[in-house]
Structure 1
């Protein structure tokens, strides 16, 4: 069945505010009250470092309330995995705490950057976070020697399940370095120590496809459903939003063709739609997403037509 997403427009643009920073990349969040979702994203400062922010969106009023605020968390010490940036990737409620799995990155030499996954905890509704550790909870390994990044975590059947980006190689094309990554699967008893068996969840499908990122997984009565970004291949050099289904969360069937949410003819999402985030409110399903330039133009909202 085709997913017909009706675009509701650009709901947040950091450039509408008196900020020296730019980008509002990778929206994700949690419900801070019945009608308000606290949305996390990352921007860039004058040093080109990724800095996490949050802003509140009131679904009952269909508008942003208040101004974006910087999340109180420090970049890592020099030489650590997150000394160049912190990008919120997955936010989950864990008892009285809010857990934020984030992409930590630092600069490379032979390649532009290296990513890992960190974990930080909030006890004040996401205003500030304390890092669980100075190092990452998921990093490159014997079987994954390049990097790991964007992820989605669910607590399901008494275990934590993670779907995460895994880079398989770098390649020089036309004198530029290109990364190749897809989505893998891992499990954990405590959400901290992860068991991974190099298990691929979403693999490359199209010729010359090279990037599958930002998995967003939900589980309902029909099983597991995942939305993600993909690019390369026959569809487009720019990101599009794909979709897959699974009965067990491990073996997935890609159904990108049923997602009816393409670029607009003009405007902020005329070249790219990417980095989805799925949420349900008042019986409807919504999708947050970034547009052109990976979020430089803000993020928009779409509703699934019934």
Structure 2
């Protein structure tokens, strides 16, 4: 079933909690009913990937588009083969630790998935032309695989012509976004970097530095992004408390919300250990492909 609605959503849709909101035209569909091929002419050959039978959810917001898939290694390898066969000059595949979930627009449904396809077109494509924008909104389709559970790392078959990326590669790209001269890019980069690895202290500190940004929207997004780190962000509580010394009620409210989320966050020591172990395995897997 497809829903096309005018929604009030975060600029950092599915990426950053606590972002500034704006009205946007959004479309979502559940299941794997084929999407109109005419909507994907900017990416020749991508339709077999978009409409793969393993797709369980699709969302589009002003050209920022995601397809979400659920399956096993067999269906994933079929998608990889089709992805590598597209006419794109660049075929990037990200391997990162799972599991992965996404909420529907009204948050009435939580969808579990194993990989997603990200396409940037329409209005969103304009962001690639801003300073450091292409590091946040890729000009080429990107397939992201969440390793673990149904997806066994040693059974993933990487086709010729595909470039494998891991978290460290994306961290470098997103970190450049934090230094963009464009406020939208800087603001969005906060959430991208936080969601990429909520256990990375270096990324957390880089985001915290934007609490002093000259732009209010960037500061709001930096505050919201810090909540994603949970208990990891406890050392930043004094800094956040100092940020409450402002006449800006919107910022003050956001800071209070983030402080509460950090204070109430559960201990994720076990999850962090499992995450780091998988990051290491992915890195080793990537190195083995180069031999």
Q: Fold-level match, TM-score > 0.5? A: no
Structure with higher Rg: it is 2
- Please state which structure has a larger fraction of its residues in helix: 2
TM-score of the aligned structures, taking structure 2 as reference length: 0.28
Relative to its length, the structure with more strand (as a share) is 1
